[in-house]
Structure 1
């Protein structure tokens, strides 16, 4: 009903415009013998016909075939996929806090590290350049002389001026030095061109089909999970934060 009212209103406006222009044309263009083939009248007629056809063509165009933002990466990043990505990180945190790390889908783990370590204590340090993210430490039941680290990363997509895609991926490195375990995190920014308008018909660009939040829908953080020998003593400074889940 709303679309029909819009089409009718468009026709009424075009008819009034056509009649008004035709009336003015008859007054301005002289003599009458030249009226039939005058270039201005021909141009006015062609333009009016195009205006009359435009609502018909528009009403016949598909209204539900707009795709989400199509990236040059070769895949489509929808709101649903972004929500699923955030949900995976949240579910991983829930499982870790419950002591069920083994229940995490292995495909969620983006990086792993392992180190042999036999000393009784270790200095734990973190270093973040852009933003921090949670670090969980779980003590093993035995002293196996090994430190293991796992990262579950989250990728965030942002746009600059609506045309440039910025992929923001929270990454980290876990390094073992002399009696020191370092977690170094940073954000990697990779700019790529992005095509916001998939549909060829220009008017689709002004119907609200492509909103900026479709490109930046994700929230949450990446995370690090550490498994250490049961009796290993952790020494840290006030700036380095972690959560020990089975202390």
Structure 2
């Protein structure tokens, strides 16, 4: 309803202006007679009014096709989700974490006493890692990757983000960043003929925003397993 009014009102305004202007021009012509210049003025004015109407109608149909696949996601809400996730992981309270934030789970068999944790390349691994020691040596490493919602221009794009990757090779656990996702968005902006009535910003005044969700890796390891890793990995032990 709001979207319809947004575009119907400018069209009505254009029609009213066109009506008053045409009436005024007709009176002027009746007093002075038709002239070549007045005919050109009417043609130019008529073409401009037609252009305004066409642009307003086209803008109505284009903007009516919203992307219903992407839900709204305000940054303030996303930030709170990230803080709550980190707090819950640090306290070892996995049962309080929303299950929708789970990206992937791993169940790894491992019997050595030491495990080297590293990254595949020299690139920065931005995921925060929480490690909890089990009460027994069950020779299993349980890992869960969590990520809160991500957004572009307040649109939830979480389902388009790939999860982190783990690879166990011998006594080395390799951490890999998510595979890069290529996101393409098209933006339609109302032309001047519509914006002059709606007051909307022009295309050149538009700013895009991106918010990356909080990513953590929670690992439960055997009681006496020793982890060996470089200081650049953000690993925190859960007491």
TM-score by length of 1: 0.61
String of CA shifts for 1:23-72, please: whole Å, max 9, x gaps: 8x99xxxxx65439962253367479x59xx8xxx9xxx9xxx89x944x
Alignment of 1:98-247 (within 5 A): 98-127=91-120, 129=123, 132-154=126-148, 156-157=150-151, 169=161, 171-186=163-178, 188-197=180-189, 203-204=194-195, 207-208=200-201, 212-213=206-207, 216-246=209-239
Which moves more between the two structures, 137-146 or 184-193? 184-193
* Residue aligning to 1:29: none
How many Å apart are 1:233 and its aligned residue? 1.1
The secondary structure found in structure 2 opposite 1:92 is helix
How many Å apart are 1:219 and its aligned residue? 4.2
* Residue aligning to 2:10: none
How many Å apart are 1:186 and its aligned residue? 3.7
Contact 1:70 1:77 survives alignment (8 Å): no
Counterpart CA distance in 2 for 1:202 and 1:189 is 37
Matched, 1:43 2:43: yes
Change (3 A) 1:196 1:136: farther
Counterpart CA distance in 2 for 1:42 and 1:102 is 73
Change (3 A) 1:138 1:90: same
* Residue aligning to 2:70: 76
Counterpart CA distance in 2 for 1:38 and 1:201 is 26
Change (3 A) 1:172 1:76: closer
Where does the alignment leave 5 or more consecutive residues of structure 1 unmatched?
1-6, 27-31, 160-164
Contact 1:155 1:168 survives alignment (8 Å): no
The secondary structure found in structure 2 opposite 1:234 is strand
Counterpart CA distance in 1 for 2:105 and 2:185 is 31
- Which protein is richer in helix relative to its size? 2
Contact 1:112 1:150 survives alignment (8 Å): yes
Counterpart CA distance in 2 for 1:224 and 1:122 is 16
Matched, 1:89 2:51: no
Contact 2:101 2:148 survives alignment (8 Å): no
Which moves more between the two structures, 221-230 or 169-178? 169-178
TM-score by length of 2: 0.63
Counterpart CA distance in 2 for 1:85 and 1:33 is 68
How many Å apart are 1:112 and its aligned residue? 0.8
